[in-house]
Amino acid sequence: MAMEISNDSDFSLPMASFLRIGTSEAHESARHNQGGMRLVSGELDKEEYVYFLMMLWHVYTELERGLETHASYPTLQPTYNPTLLARTPSISQDISHLLGVPEAEWQIHPLHTPFVAYTTRLRELSESSDPTCLLAHAYVRYLGDMSGGQVIRRRIAEAYDLDVDRGYGTRLYDFKKLDSSEPANIGDIKKIKEWYKDGMNTGIGDDTALKAAVLEEALLAFKMNVNIFDLLAGEGRVQEPQHSAVSVPKQA
C-alpha cells in the first residue's frame, strides 16, 4: 500500500502543515473527480446520497471505534474529543430522516449493503502495534466535514428540501463550539480546525518517521476516496470496487 512521498518534503514543518502540503495534489485530484463534483453541486439523487451516507457510517463507525480504543495513545490523545467530533450518530440520524424510517430500522433497508474495503484498512490500523496512522484518516474526514462539507450541507439542503436550521438530514455537517454545546458557526469551526491541527502537531512532534508514515497513509486515504467518488460519477448506484473509500470534501 506504499504511496510515493516527494523527495522535497520538508520534515521540519509541523505535522499539520506537512500533511497539507504533502497531500495538496491528491486533494485536488479528489476535488475534481466527476463524482465528487456531483456531490458538492447537489446533483446526486436522494438514493445516491443516502448510499453515500451509508458508506460514511461504516467508515466512521470503524474509525471512531479505533480512536476510542486508543484514546490515550500519545499520538492520538491530543485530538481525541468524541463529544466535539464524533460523526457516527449524526450520520445515522441523517439516514433515518432521508429514508423516512425509524433509526433502529434503516440498516435493514434494501438500499443498505455492507461496506468492507475501507473499514478493513481502518481495522488493520486499529489492531496494529502502533495505531498512529488512524490520525491520517481522522484528519481527512473531520477536517473535510468542517471545510468543504459546509458547502455540501447547503447544496443537499437545497436539493432535497431539508430544514437546515433544524439539522434534519444534515447533522453530519453540524458541529458544536469548542467550549459549549451551542451550534458552531463558520468562525467557530475555524477555531476547531486550528485546535485539531495544534493537537496533531503536539501528538507527532518532531518525529520524522511518524510524519512520513502519517503522510503516506493520508495519500492512501485520498486515493481510496477517489474510488468512492467514482461510485458517484454515474447515474445510479454501482458495485463497490475492490479498493474503495469515502469521499473527502475540500479542506482548509
Q: Where are the domains of the chain?
A: 15-231
Contact 57, 95 (CB under 8 A): yes
- Predicted TM-score (pTM) of the model is 0.89
Residues 94-144 pLDDT 10s: 999 999 999 999 999 988 887 788 899 999 999 999 999 999 999 999 999
Q: Which residues pair with 176 in a beta bridge?
A: 183
Query: How many residues does this entry show for the chain?
Result: 252
User: Residue 176 is placed in which grid cell?
Assistant: 458544536
- Mapped onto helix, strand or coil, the DSSP state of residue 34 is helix
Residue type, 219: L
Residue 91 has pLDDT above 90, yes or no: yes
* Per-residue pLDDT at 129: 95
What is residue 57's predicted lDDT score, i.e. its pLDDT? Answer: 94
Pairwise CA distance, residues 73 & 36, whole Å: 33
> Residue 249 above 50 pLDDT?
no
244 confidence band (pLDDT: 50, 70, 90): very low
CATH class in words for 15-231? mainly alpha
Least confident among 125-134, 138-147, 211-220, 240-249: 240-249
pLDDT value of residue 94: 97
**Residues 181-192: pLDDT tens digits?**
999 999 999 999
